[in-house]
Amino acid sequence: MFLLTSASPAVTIEDSWPGYSLDLFSYPAHYAGDLDCVIIPHGVIMDRTERLARNIMDDLGNHDIVVLCVLKGGYQFSADLVDRIKALSCNSNRTIPMRVHFIRLKSYLNDQSTEDLHIVGAEDLSFLTGKNVLIVEAIVGTGKTMKTLLKHVQAFKPNMIKVAGVAFFLITHFSYLSDVGFEIPNRFVVGYALDYNEYFRDLNVSWYKCFII
């Protein structure tokens, strides 16, 4: 049975939001001139992630889940989300036994999404059959990548699928997003493990999520 739970509302950042000045934050000097502004400070991301973890606990408490982390961009959000779910499991009457599996998707060339999608580590996901699956992704742009992944995962007949993401773009709305942190303007973002041609992953994720100029 394939089931998507209803989506919870996200924090909306309007297209007119100018972001925070870079002068308010510390960042590596080798990226001077490459960054535009700070869109979401790290502390805000952490507070929102804690709430998403609570939503997931409310939906899936006392049920085993398989966390399917989408690399590379999703690794930081996945780690933070799993840590907060574990903390809630240790400090409440409900608990969520978790397994974590990693797959890698690649569909971007520079800052453009391409038609070619490569899925690494997802050749045999038969262990998902009958399981509650939480797909954890960093950001959803055009939605083509996620739709392809959902179709692939669905073929293994999981009991339920939830999709958790840090953000998706204001111009796009997807019914399959169960728990999402932020709706953001349609601009290319880096930081918090998001990259541009593998650069910018080394940004201090304790401080900011940034726009590329």
Q: Give residue-wise pLDDT tens across range 35-85.
A: 888 888 888 899 999 999 999 998 888 888 999 999 988 999 999 999 999
In-domain check, residue 1: no
In-domain check, residue 102: yes
- Say which residue the tokens 């992704």 belong to: 137
In-domain check, residue 126: yes
67: left (phi over 0), alpha (psi -120 to 50) or beta: beta
State the pLDDT at residue 213: 31
Distances (CA, A) of 115 to 74, 148, 163: 20, 11, 22
Q: What is the CATH number of the domain that holds 136?
A: 3.40.50.2020
Mean pLDDT by 10 residues, the chain (213 residues): 54 88 87 86 91 91 90 92 94 89 73 62 82 90 81 91 85 69 85 84 55 39
State the pLDDT at residue 36: 85
Q: Which two tokens stand for residue 63?
A: 């049920």
Q: Which residue segment(s) compose the domain that 65 sits in?
A: 42-108+116-185
In-domain check, residue 195: no
In-domain check, residue 96: yes
In-domain check, residue 124: yes
In-domain check, residue 46: yes
Give the integer Cα–Cα distance in Å for 163 and 134: 6
The model carries a pTM of 0.85
In the chain, the number of structural domains is: 1
In-domain check, residue 8: no
State the pLDDT at residue 92: 85
Find out whether 189 and 210 touch, Cβ atoms under 8 Å. yes
